[in-house]
Structure 1
């Protein structure tokens, strides 16, 4: 699938860069995951190490200070660990089992990094304890507006997982427009971008953040990250039994195209969105606002970083 993706996708025309502190962040994140119980077995630890969250974070934040890079690395590690838990024991296909897990995690998110009752952390288990640690650190490192954005986006992510689980339980395959909308949340790109904004010191202002061009640029960046992931991961998902939660699978289901043509159509969507992003970004940057420039830089890094990380990611083997 890497061969197809590398040939079918337009390579994002942004510099490929990696944070000099990525190796140290990888070591630290591995210890963090082990200490908090996210990697309870050697297999768990090996799988998280192969996912190489620090490489993705380091490409998304090539200039970040170590503490910002470590925070983003740990968030991505947490997302991988929770995703693996949802896949490995069927949690992600059973909304009745997933719902109480999500409810406890939402209780932790609602604290927005404040102290948590011991009983809540005990009931939430290692996933909840690690999520609380992330919230505590986001509160310490980020401006209030970014902290609140992060909490809201985590809520959207967790609730979107219930949509995905309900689809799986009912063997329901979403149409393309529905899939695109919900994939923006199940992919957890929004909270990842928020931590990247913090690392880039892009403190959002409601005036320009609500500008339709800035909002559209943000949507395009999120879609590009998600669709790049879908195309690179398609083969692994197909081997595991595709359930329709992939752009190519959604296209095939809606249009009746065979696998090869559906993959090509998904790649064309990525390429069209990248071209739209490249046309729109100069308009967004025309005002010369340095905050907007940092906001756009974070999105460029994520688009390019996802592409480069995906070319190497053992997670999709």
Structure 2
């Protein structure tokens, strides 16, 4: 059994929100999981109790219901892979075999018509998800989703190697991998689909926007590690968590590691809010919507992480907060001392507002010249936040 830690209220300047159809979305995901047959009966029974539809409804609180349903089913599918294939299954300690299994799944995502894994429920669920994503997204967004899935799979294999060796990774490596192995990047194309628009690559890939998306991934995964530490550390198997990594890297007690993890995520949260504020004035309506939903993704993960039985574990209650704090524990503007992400602060400390405006206007100019980045014809979009 791991150390007993009490997680204090976490800093969150983003207001909560939820789509009004969340009960129906959650029920639909339960029915989908049962119909597809995701995981074992025991694993599936656990997953459908985790209110995953509520999580998806918090991520896209004013999005299109059909896409929120896809997101909800997809998150449950991801847990089926992560819990079933990796953490609890034999493949979780066999990185070579796991890589082969995940590559077969990736081929299904790339080409759903391939005659492979036809009797595998995980592959069947992925085929259904790919079909629905293609219906509601563009060719480019579908390709982004497949590529992000490839990135997620590669980090899962990296994690399996540490599980096999029972080793704790370097902090910088863990941070870099956590940006993808939390499966946050696989959700990003669905943020666009949820409102029926497509960001032009000149907007999506510009450095400040890419940094904002990475910051959102960092905050979500650090928060997830903080909220899930009790469940993970009490399990009998290997676990990989930022608190364990910080303990090992700096020779800290669990309590000190928790405090440091909170300090790190607070600094990144403050930076995310500043970068978002600087991007908004010259941003296109589509980019404003995207930045808004990066925020709802962060807050949605926080609300779900502190309330879902996946992390509160009622049979062995975790000491999680029931409220959030309005001020950060760390107000420093200095970069977090992790090389993989310290460049984010260059945007904040070394660049002017004119830099953000120029880069954003350049992206909008490219978008208007090409005719891309517009809402899809025939789709009714929700109002874009100002």
Where on the TM-score scale, by shorter chain, does this alignment land: which range? over 0.9
> Which residue of the other structure, out of 96, 117, 126, is the alignment partner of 1:121?
117
* 1:126-275 map, 5 Å: 126-241=121-236, 243=238, 245-275=240-270
Show CA shifts across 1:62-98 (max 9, x none).
1122211110001011011112202222322221331
Determine the C-alpha separation between the residues in 1 that align with 2:178 and 2:236.
Answer: 18
Residue 280 of structure 1 and its aligned partner are, at CA, apart by 1.0
Question: 1 CA distance for matches of 2:96 and 2:201?
Answer: 38
Deviations for 1:247-305, whole angstroms, at most 9, x for unmatched residues?
A: 11111111101111011101111111101111111111120411110110110101110
Give unmatched runs, 5+ long, in structure 1: none
Using the TM superposition, give the Cα deviation of residue 220 of structure 1 relative to its aligned residue in structure 2, in angstroms: 0.5
May I ask how many residue pairs the two structures share in their alignment?
309
The TM-score normalised by the length of structure 2 is 0.76
Q: Give SS of 2:18's match.
A: coil
More deviation, 93-102/265-274: 93-102
8 Å Cα contact 2:233/2:239 also seen in 1: no
**Would the aligned equivalents of 1:252 and 1:258 in 2 still touch at CA under 8 Å?**
yes
Do 2:141 and 2:189's aligned partners in 1 also have CA atoms closer than 8 Å? yes
User: CA separation of 1:120/1:64 partners in 2, compared to 1, >3 Å: closer, same or farther?
Assistant: same
Q: Does residue 23 of structure 2 align to residue 23 of structure 1?
A: yes
Contact 1:202 1:295 in 2 (8 A): no
The CA deviation at 1:172 is 2.3
Instruction: Check whether the contact 2:225–2:242 (CA below 8 A) recurs between aligned residues.
Output: yes
Mapped to 1, the partners of 2:196 and 2:171 lie a distance apart of 35
Structure number with bigger Rg: 2
The structure carrying a bigger helix percent of its residues is 1
Does the CA-based 8 Å contact 1:109-1:151 persist in structure 2?
Answer: yes
In the superposition, the TM-score normalised over structure 1's length comes to 0.92
Are the counterparts in 2 of residues 2 and 232 from structure 1 also a CA contact under 8 Å?
no
Whether 2:295 is the aligned partner of 1:287: answer no
Q: What is the RMSD of the two structures over their aligned residues, measured on CA atoms?
A: 1.8
CA separation in 2, counterparts of 1:305 and 1:2? 26
Task: After superposing the two structures, state which structure 1 stretch, 173-182 or 78-87, moved more.
Answer: 78-87
What is the CA distance between 1:238 and its match in structure 2?
0.6
In structure 2, what is the equivalent of residue 69 of structure 1? 68
- For 2:80, the equivalent position in structure 1 comes to 81
Does residue 5 of the first structure (1) align with residue 17 of the second (2)? Answer: no
* 2:226–2:243 CA contact under 8 A, matched in 1: yes
Unaligned runs of 5+ in 2: 314-386
Distance 1:219 1:173 in 2: 23
Q: How does 1:22-41 map to 2 (within 5 A)?
A: 22-41=22-41
Distance in 2, Cα, partners of 1:274 & 1:17: 18
